[in-house]
Structure 1
Amino acid sequence: MILCVGESLIDMVPEGGSFRPLVGGSVYNTAVALGRLGQKTGYLWPVSRDPFGDQILRPLAEAGVDTSLCPRTDRLTTLALVTLADGEARYSFYDEGSAGRMLQWQDIPPLPDSVTALFAGGISLVPDPCGTTVETLIARHHERLPVMIDPNIRPLFITDPGAYRARLARLLPMADIVKLSADDLEWLYPDLAPEDAACCVLDSGPRIVLQTGGAAGAKAIWSGETVTAPAVQTTVSDTIGAGDTFNAGVLASLDQQGVLFKQGIARITPDQILKALTMGAKAASVTVSRPGANPPWSHEMPA
């Protein structure tokens, strides 16, 4: 089971001059997408007992995602106010004292043996105590379990850039796979070209760095020659959840290919990486073709 650890929230998405509440969150979207793609998936994050909590749990249940590790709490659900500019999503977060933000180590039960890989990232890595809690979880399990991290950096959410850079400097070397967008790379290394920045991340310890660039497609920077997969052409409604769905496609492909374990990633081949990038791109193309973070089911995947 691939365990996704990180934020769930409500995206307040513009619609007809008002806002429509849609379930979202970077890691949450990846968990739902993995479940819809037919992978054995678990989700770990506090879920509020407020009305939004039930709204958050429903798509997970429909996708067959195991939520037995999710603590329930009376704290409120995080809200993200979404604005769109030419289809690109920008976010303002209402998170102070929220259910997820207050996650502490003692809230996390022991991981069952059924967990075979960890995925983490998003804004859950930024504030404390939840950021420290996720970091501790990865530190305690990364030697045994393969880890994928997508920081999905939101600069407006980061109140202490120095502290967050220090956390990423500790976290990324513990990951086997790191996914970074062009915007992420620019924030991390503002003086470097994106591929040079990705190489710097690779040099810190991960085995594979995935560099995504929307319509430019995706690259895998690793110990071998760079592997590139083009974006799948589609009519874009908006980009909400695109990168999250890409992550799910990559993880699903690696799992289906039988390489989503420590030694499997260590011996991965260019063809296996290309298959993973291609599945990620296909999955993301469906998500961007319709409003909000609405990942594809397996039967909706492009051929």
Structure 2
Amino acid sequence: MILCCGEALIDMIPNEAGAYTPHVGGAVLNTAIALGRLGVSTGLITGLSSDPFGAMIAEHMTASNVSTAYAVRSARNTTLAFVHLDEGQATYTFYDEGTATREIRPDDIDPAPPETEAMFFGGISLCNPPVADSLLTLALAQPERRLVMADPNIRPSFVSDHDGYRARLNALIGRADIIKLSDDDLNWIEPGTASLADKAQAILARGPKMFLLTEGGDGATVYLQGGRHLHVAAQKATVVDTVGAGDTFNAGCLAALRAADALHPAAIADLPEAILHDMLTLAARAAAVTVSRAGANPPWASELA
């Protein structure tokens, strides 16, 4: 089983008439949904409200084969994210303070069950306390034999304390076996004029065994310790919007590693080129389906067969 750890929220997305309509979303929930639809046993550690939006999220999780058993239940409101689209590219305004996910404390989270193969962390839940500190504590508590992947999916305008956020990300990067960043995220974490390849090596020097770089229409690259790297082109797609594309990419990578029996830290550093190519290709294909339809709507395994 893979446990995804972070926000589940409601994306308010404008329709053709400009009116906002609710869609279940959140970067970490999107990754969990994509994993469940790809046939991977998945659970989500998140805050789940008793309000109508919380019920909507729970129904969506169940329908996509994602367990709600690990959610922290409360009567606090669900986080809302208003999505602004410009030629299909999404930016967000979040309403998060005091919500079901934001207020998660370390004692609210049960230890991961023994059958957990990997833990995934990311999204806006890493931005601000208390949930951000709670998730970092959880990540650092994982045994070395359990794979940890993280995708911060950075939203600088949402961060209340940039120094604290950078310190939290540095600690998470130091523990993670796999880090995934977009080119924009990488430039935020590693500012300066160095090439993306050099910045990728700087991330690996902090401890991860694998670094995944996504560049939108320019494709994706995997970098490994020792200088190995492999690039695949983006899959062609008619873009409706980019909501959930990177989250689906994460799920595709994890699902491919699990199918190759490589979902453990000891296997990551020495993966053969064929497995790396299959991983990036599956992830890119899944992401292409997601961008071709409105909102975060990842593909089912049957759609990729």
**Shared topology, TM-score over 0.5?**
yes
2:216 to 209, 214, 217: 214
Aligned to 2:190: 189
1:42 maps to which residue?
Answer: 43
Alignment of 1:1-303 (within 5 A): 1-15=1-15, 16-191=17-192, 192-223=194-225, 224-301=227-304
- After TM superposition, the structure 1 stretch with the greater mean CA deviation from structure 2, 67-76 or 218-227, is 218-227
Partners of 1:205 and 1:18 lie apart in 2 by 45
1:178-235 deviation per Cα after TM superposition (whole angstroms, max 9, x unaligned)? 0000110111122133222211111100001000001100001112421111111011
Which amino acid letter does the alignment assign opposite residue 5 of structure 1? C
Task: Give the 3 Å change call, closer, same or farther, for CA 14–163 of structure 1 in structure 2.
Answer: same
How many residues align? The count is: 302
- Give the deviation of 1:142 after TM superposition: 4.5
Return the offset for 1:109.
1.3
Aligned partner of 2:50: which letter?
A: R
Distance 1:131 1:23 in 2: 21
8 Å contact kept, 1:142–1:175: no
The answer as to whether partners of 2:128 and 2:161 remain within 8 angstroms in 1 is: no
Q: Is the CA contact (8 Å cut-off) linking 2:262 and 2:268 kept in structure 1?
A: yes
Structure 1: segments with no counterpart, 5+ residues: none
Deviation at 1:154, TM superposition (A): 0.6
Moved more, 139-148 or 27-36: 139-148
- Contact persistence 1:236–1:290 (CA under 8 A): yes
CA deviations 1:142-199 (Å, max 9, x no partner) are 4131011000001111121111111111110101100000110111122133222211
Q: Distance in 1 between matches of 2:61 and 2:110?
A: 19
Distance in 1 (alpha carbons) for counterparts of 2:125 and 2:158: 11
Secondary structure of residue in 1 paired with 2:141:
helix
Aligned with 2:67: secondary structure? coil
Identity of aligned residues (%): 48
Question: What whole-Å deviation, never above 9, does each CA across 1:124-154 have from its counterpart, x for those lacking one?
Answer: 1111110111001110104131011000001
| SS, match of residue 124 in structure 2 | helix
Aligned letter for 1:261?
H
Q: Helix, strand or coil: the match of 1:141? A: coil
Worse-matched range after superposition: 155-164 or 85-94: 155-164
Write the distance in 2 (CA, Å) between the matches of 1:82 and 1:291. 12
Worse-superposed segment, 20-29 or 195-204: 195-204
Residues in 1 aligned to 2:203 and 2:185: alpha-carbon distance in whole angstroms: 11
Cα distance between partner residues in 1 of 2:153 and 2:74: 26
Q: Is the 8 A contact 2:209 2:224 kept in 1?
A: yes
SS in 2 for 1:249: helix
Q: Which amino acid in 2 is paired with 1:102?
A: E
Q: Could you report, residue by residue, the CA deviation over 1:1-44 in whole angstroms, capped at 9, with x for unpaired residues? A: 01000101110101112101111000000000000000111111
- Listed one character per residue, the Cα deviations across residues 43-94 of structure 1 (whole Å, up to 9, x for unaligned) are 1111000000011111210111111111210110000011001110000100
Q: What letter is aligned with 2:41?
A: K
- What is the TM-score when the length of structure 2 is the normalising length? 0.97
Structure 2: distance between partners of 1:142 and 1:272: 25
* Structure 2 Cα separation of the partners of residues 178 and 295 of structure 1: 21
Give TM-score scaled by structure 1 length: 0.97
Structure 2: tracts of 5 or more residues without a match: none
Q: Distance in 1 between matches of 2:43 and 2:82?
A: 27
Within 2, Cα distance between the matches of 1:294 and 1:168? 28
User: Is the 1:211–1:219 contact (alpha carbons within 8 Å) kept by the matching residues of 2?
Assistant: yes
The answer on whether the counterparts of 1:142 and 1:174 sit within 8 Å (CA) in structure 2 is: no
Root mean square deviation of aligned Cα: 1.0
- Check the 8 A contact 1:11/1:24 in 2, yes or no: yes
